[in-house]
Amino acid sequence: MNRSIMTAPTNLLKTPLLGSLLRWRWGRFVGQLLLLLAALLILYEGFAGPPLASENLAAVVVWVHYRGVLVLALLFAGNLFCMNCPFTLPRTLAHKLSLAGKRWPRPLRSKWVAIGMLIIYFWLYEWLDLWASPWLTAWIIIAYFLIAFALEAIFTESPFCKYVCPLGTFNFVSSTISPLQIAVSQQDVCHTCVGKECVNGSLQTLGCGTLLFPPQIQSNMDCILCLDCARACPHNNVALTLRRPLAELTNANAWPRRWDLNFLIIVLAFTGVSNAFGMVPPIYTLETWLAASLNIHNEGIILLLIFAVLNLVLPVGLGLGAAWLSRALARREESLRLTLARYAPAFAPMAFAGWLAHYGGFHFLSSALAIAPVMQNFLLDHGIAALGQPDWTLGPVMPMTWMDPIELVIVLSGFAASLYVLTFRARQNRPKPDGMAAQLPWIVLLLALAVAMMVVFYLPMEMRGSAFFS
């Protein structure tokens, strides 16, 4: 067990003001209420606002600002969206209504459903042009609330967050590189603690919804950063710690060596490329060619085929292939699962870099100011002219010529961080560290991903959500 990241000295919950705010019983509820108000505004605008996405507050906020701010928050702080997620409000309501009963079925207690939801989500995003439809954007939010409430009402833990939600799944994997993590101040206090309220809950406070036990936490996976554990602990022993960069990914014991968890990271790295591929001209050439070759003229089926290959067949096939080669080159006798689990965490920085470069580096930086005319338009539609007439040319926060170098730096940084994690994990192997030969298949795969990202990112890309065109 790596105690260095479990009992780190910095505890943000002990800092003046911020600590009190984070520990405040209603702190999370206030954050959730603010996001609930934002969700209600998006619903209203989605159904009643302008049909053109680039002029609609709901579409611009969800498909430009939410995604851009999300990746930046994950990089510099942690899973702040899940912390304030309004979709989890039903959990509290369901518990108050005492509807919760059984645990999530055992065969489904893995990330396979979440991987499936991620792939379905990215397919629907392209097929139904979700980003272009304020109406569908609003319906997605309604579906989220309904499904979250239904699952939280039926089952005892938080199955929606832990096993189903594609947004949460993205946040869980990405937060493995975040600087904040839940830990405990003193392990000894936990040893003698009778109630274990951090996970079991108390009369006033819920315990951990995703059933994490703070003294044993070594990973941000499944932590929605709700801080219920800190509020429930009667000994004030839960800490929100700052950890060193890549601490979790270089900790050999941080994650269970499960197929689902490790494929999830590789799948997320591939979806970072395929999602951007859906926004560049070659996708249309490929769609036309496939339609003619297979004599299938339904776009939904063609896109399903494309994304099933890019997001499932390739990551699973290449992941297994790399694991098999790596094991053969290391002359090891171990299961492929163990080899995969040793190296798959190295894909997390590369995966995150792809999403950061695409959403944080391109779409957000090139369209962030689009919120100004959209807001002006919204107010004008409601008879308020105080902010003046919209200037629809607003969008980029910096010259567009800066975007390519910024994306390149982000992708190269992700690649370098992935190589560091890879090498670190190879050296950690016992009884004998893995040499360069065992790392080679993974290096080639990571390099191929980095090159694919840059090739796709450098093609002319649809802006999606802004009136400004690249």
Q: Specify the residue, 226 or 330, whose C-beta has the smaller distance to ligand SF4.
A: 226
> Tokens at residue 442, please?
């993974």
Give the interface segment with ligand SF4, choosing from 14-22, 211-219, 395-403, 407-415 (CB under 6 A). 211-219
Does position 279 interact with ligand SF4 (CB under 6 A)? The reply is no
182 sits near ligand SF4 (criterion: CB under 6 A): yes
Contacts of 76 (CB under 8 A, 6+ apart): 179
List 238, 264, 269, 279, residue binding ligand SF4 (CB under 6 A): 238
Of 212, 357, 454, 463, the one binding ligand SF4 (CB under 6 A) is 212
225 near ligand SF4, judged by CB under 6 A = yes
With binding defined as CB under 6 A, does residue 278 bind ligand SF4?
no
Q: Map tokens 């790392």 to a residue.
A: 439
The Cα 136–Cα 289 span in angstroms is 29
Q: How many residues bind ligand SF4 (CB under 6 A)?
A: 24
Rounded distance between C-alpha atoms, residue 115 and residue 311, angstroms: 10
**Stretch of 86-94, 222-230, 252-260, 357-365 lying at the interface with ligand SF4 (CB under 6 A):** 222-230
For position 181 contacting ligand SF4 by CB under 6 A, the verdict is: no
- The yes or no reply on residue 215 touching ligand SF4 (CB under 6 A) is yes
Sole window of 230-238, 273-281, 358-366, 447-455 interacting with ligand SF4 (rule: CB under 6 A): 230-238
Q: Which is nearer to ligand SF4, 216 or 428 (CB)?
A: 216
235 binds ligand SF4 (CB under 6 A): yes
Contacting range for ligand SF4; rule: CB under 6 A; set: 60-68, 220-228, 312-320, 326-334: 220-228
- How far apart are CB 83 and ligand SF4 at their closest, in Å? 8
By CB under 6 A, residue 73 contacts ligand SF4: no
224 binds ligand SF4 (CB under 6 A): yes
CB of 452 closer than 8 Å to CB of 351: no
Residue 223 or 302 having the CB closest to ligand SF4:
223
Q: Is 233 in the site for ligand SF4 (CB under 6 A)?
A: yes
CA proximity to 255, closest of 198, 316, 212, 312: 212
Q: Does 226 bind ligand SF4 (CB under 6 A)?
A: yes
What does the block give as tokens for 84? 């304030």
Task: Please identify which residue in 14, 196, 258, 332 interacts with ligand SF4, judged by CB under 6 A.
Answer: 196
Q: How far is the CB of 278 from ligand SF4 (least distance, A)?
A: 32
Closer residue to ligand SF4 (CB): 46 or 215: 215
Per CB under 6 A, the segment of 135-143, 232-240, 310-318, 442-450 that binds ligand SF4 is: 232-240
State yes or no: residue 13 binds ligand SF4 (CB under 6 A). no
Scanning 223-231, 300-308, 373-381, 452-460 for contacts with ligand SF4 by CB under 6 A, the matching segment is 223-231
Q: Is 126 in the site for ligand SF4 (CB under 6 A)?
A: no
Q: Does 74 bind ligand SF4 (CB under 6 A)?
A: no
Angle between helix axes 403-428 and 347-355 (nearest 10 degrees) is 170
Nearer residue to ligand SF4 within complex by CB, 36 or 193 = 193
Q: How far is Cα 313 from Cα 395, in angstroms, rounded to an integer?
A: 37
Answer yes or no whether residue 229 interacts with ligand SF4 by CB under 6 A: yes
Instruction: State the nearest-atom distance from the C-beta of 268 to ligand SF4, in Å.
Output: 20
Q: Would you tell me which residues interact with ligand SF4 (CB under 6 A)? A: 182, 184, 189-190, 193, 196-198, 208, 210, 212, 214-215, 223-229, 233, 235, 237-238
